[in-house]
Structure 1
Amino acid sequence: MYDAWPGATAGEMNRNPICGPFVPGRKALNQAGVFETVVAGAQFVDIGGDGLLNCDPASQCHIPLTATVTHGGKSIQVKIVDRCEACAIGDIDLTPTAFAALADQSLGRTSVQWHFNKY
């Protein structure tokens, strides 16, 4: 799934459009066509007139997709930040903290339901 994502670049596994560091600030075009702060932050991503995120090609400033993961009546929201080398199609690899929020870590692996969210 990850490598086939639209915009993914071979050999750049952690620069895939679905992952990246969180950038809290947003600037959007105003009526005059000038970028203005819409959400304050230490770093910014520009939201163009088409609603898409615009970044300097040398930086990875997009907002990562998030997913909701559910197991045993518990749900958490996680950020997609990198590629899971050992995952099969449809798998999701969680940090130890995220896994522990859903199940006992001693399980190592467990079945979950998950889906991408809009950001």
Structure 2
Amino acid sequence: MLSSLTLSVTLCLFALVSARPVIPRATDFTGGTGHGTYYDTGLTSCGKTYTDSDLIVALSHFFYDTYPGATANPNNNPVCGKKLTAHYQGKSVTVTVADRCTGCAMYDLDFTPTGFEALSDLSVGRISGVTWTFDDSASEPAVSGNGTTPDPDSDSSSGTSTNSSSGDTADSTDLDSSSAVNITTQPGTTVNTTTTSSDIGSAPPSTKRRIWARETSLVF
């Protein structure tokens, strides 16, 4: 009786274990061929937020979760930020991996509307036979924004401060009349300018002068 009960429990456990789905693993992590779809993006599995105009793509969860180096935290998956180029009927588009698609087969790609339109019309909805491979270089996807870069040639002469010690000479050559130059002087300092003269405020030695003038020589 006891042996029969043990056998029954063993068979039940075996059936439960056997019923667990086997997660398929990619056999080629350099690319593949599958279907192409599109979706409305937002906050992605890679931990960043994008818009439908960004050229990003979601990989199948089978591929994403088994990619070498993947952990339980999808934000840290090393596949995030990798670029790939997809081809379909003579057209191609380069996109950046930024998301995970739970409804995709192993080598399917889920694009943003902008990415999908580079391969086919949105009205088609789903295309088959999309081939893709990872590019050699990986980089972070570009996020829509209005970043600016300072101009290295911009004028920074206004409000410039020049300090000179006793016995030194400070020369100014082409100051704009609307620009102010602060010069700290010490006894015995000579300030030479080579442009038109205007107005110079008076101040005792060893004080800061605000000069709006040109072609003026000050000797203390």
TM-score w.r.t. length of structure 1: 0.59
Q: SS at the partner of 1:78?
A: strand
Q: SS at the partner of 2:92?
A: strand
Q: SS at the partner of 1:102?
A: coil
* CA–CA distance in structure 2, aligned partners of residues 14 and 85 of structure 1: 15
2:104 to 84, 87, 90: 87
Q: Per-residue CA shift, 1:48-86, capped at 9, x if unaligned? A: xxxxxxxxxxxxxxxx11111011201111000111111
User: Unaligned stretches of 5+ in structure 1?
Assistant: 20-63
Q: Per-residue CA shift, 1:17-49, capped at 9, x if unaligned? A: 111xxxxxxxxxxxxxxxxxxxxxxxxxxxxxx
Determine whether 1:14 maps to 2:75.
yes
* CA–CA distance in structure 1, aligned partners of residues 103 and 75 of structure 2: 15
Which amino acid in the other structure matches residue 88 of structure 1? A
**Closer, same or farther: CA 99–3 of 1 in aligned 2, 3 Å:** same
The 5 A counterparts of 1:20-59 are none
Cα displacement (A) at 1:13: 2.0
**Which consecutive aligned stretches of 4+ in structure 1 deviate over 2 angstroms post-superposition?**
none
- Percent identity, aligned pairs only? 50
* CA–CA distance in structure 2, aligned partners of residues 72 and 86 of structure 1: 24
Cα displacement (A) at 1:14: 3.2
Cα displacement (A) at 1:100: 0.6
Q: SS at the partner of 2:132?
A: strand
2:131 to 106, 113, 118: 113
Greater C-alpha Rg: 2
TM-score w.r.t. length of structure 2: 0.33
Asked if the contact 1:70/1:114 (under 8 Å) is kept, the reply is yes
